[in-house]
Chains A and B, each alone.
Chain A
Amino acid sequence: MSIFTIIAVVLICVGLLFFLGAAVGIMRFGDFYTRMHAAGKGDTLSSLLVLLGFGVYQLNNFQSFSESWPVLLVILKLIAISAFILLTSPTATHALMDSGWEDGIEPELKNDKPETNALEEDMPQPKQKEAQA
């Protein structure tokens, strides 16, 4: 087993561990915002690690620049996918969080007085939840 395969397996396993963490976080965390935190963070990092593992695994087929350039092309595509995930996944999480805030989902706070939260003063107050239809 070559060194690249071992590195790739380690990277993919760590990525899958983070996926598991994200899944458990979505199931077990208290409110909407912490759940989205688990989903956004864990998902992004684990996807990147798994894609990095794929890229490292592809290096097994690499001999020289002149004859195995298709391998580099595959790695380049994987890097492009990673860049897109790095751009889109946090933005999607942010957009979902923002929509939840606008919709009036209350975050769970440790102290019962939300106005003592320093962050709260800068932020617009969430709209009161309207009666459910």
Chain B
Amino acid sequence: MRLFALIAVFITGGLLLYGTADFPAKGDPHSPANAGVPGTGPSISQYFVTETYNDSKVPNMVTAVLADYRGYDTMFETVVIFAAGMAIFAILRVVKGGRNPGTGIHHRLDKDSSGNGDHYDIIVGTTCKLLIPVIQLFSLYVIAHGHYSPGGGFQGGVILGASFILYAMATNLKASLARFSEQRFMSLACIGILIYAGFGFLSQFLQKNFLEYGVLQKVLLTDGPEMARSHSMLGVEVGVAFTVTAIMFAIYANLSSAGDLENGKGL
């Protein structure tokens, strides 16, 4: 069986390597993706490079492609993250008195019966107290500044969720859940998706296509459709960030406590 798997891997790898021979060279300006097929006008990547700023006044074209031109796709990417969180919830979460399927992680302060957590608490706790506000501020910057520099809802949301995970690892899960309870993160995950879909339905309500932000200038009271698209991208990114933050922390809380959201039962 191992031999068969090895042969299958080598055949697949060989076919993939054979396929790469047909690729154009990296960064080739004459490849069809960059220059377009002859006789059919400019390619789509040329359009993005030249017209993104005129369309939506967003300098970072990656964010514009992600949140505007390809917004429908990104909406369902967010739904995939949401579904992953829901799957973890459905598999692992046990209510009180139910069956406990796993063991869970010891957080630092759980097994602190001998009183030797003191020195740990001071050093790591102080560092976390110093760092977590900076991490959260940076994540908000990443979310809000996604138009101008690399970043956006996914990255900022992950960093914001990681700050809550860091707090849970430095103290214990209960302290973190006191700041960001299960009810809150579950509803925040849903609110994020609803914000994204809300922008889509709002533009549909104003008699345009789903997620066609330009028409939202009537609602957002901007100078023109370009600024409306820019502001709508920011709103959509905030929705993505809500969902990703909540789901990241939900996955960690459920995984680390084996689903009972207590402190875990020990190894």
Mark A residues whose CB is within 8 Å of B.
84, 87-88, 91, 94-95, 98, 102, 124
B116 touches which of A88, A91, A124 (Cβ 8 Å)? A124
Residue B124 CB within 8 A of the other chain: yes
Q: How many A-B residue pairs have CB under 8 A?
A: 20
Chain A, interface SS category = helix
Q: Which B107-130 residues have a C-beta within 8 angstroms of A? A: 111, 114-116, 119-120, 123-124, 127, 130
Residue B131 CB within 8 A of the other chain: yes
* A87-B131 CB under 8 A given contacts A124-B114, A124-B116: yes
Question: Cβ of A98 and Cβ of B130 under 8 Å apart?
Answer: no
Cα of A124 to Cα of B120 in the assembled complex, Å: 13
A–B pairs, 5, beta carbons within 8 Å: A87-B127, A88-B127, A95-B124, A98-B120, A102-B116
CB of A46 to closest CB in B, whole Å? 21
* A94-B131 CB under 8 A given contacts A124-B114, A124-B116: no
Residues of B within 8 A of A102 (CB): 111, 116
Residues of A within 8 A of B123 (CB): 91, 94
Question: Cβ of A91 and Cβ of B124 under 8 Å apart?
Answer: yes
Cα of A124 to Cα of B118 in the assembled complex, Å: 11
- What residue of chain A has the Cβ atom nearest to residue B111's Cβ? A102
Question: Cβ of B124 and Cβ of A94 under 8 Å apart?
Answer: yes
CB of B185 to closest CB in A, whole Å? 26
Would you list the 4 A-B pairs with minimal beta carbon distance, nearest first?
A: A124-B116, A91-B127, A98-B120, A94-B123
Residues of B within 8 A of A84 (CB): 131
Residues of A within 8 A of B115 (CB): 124
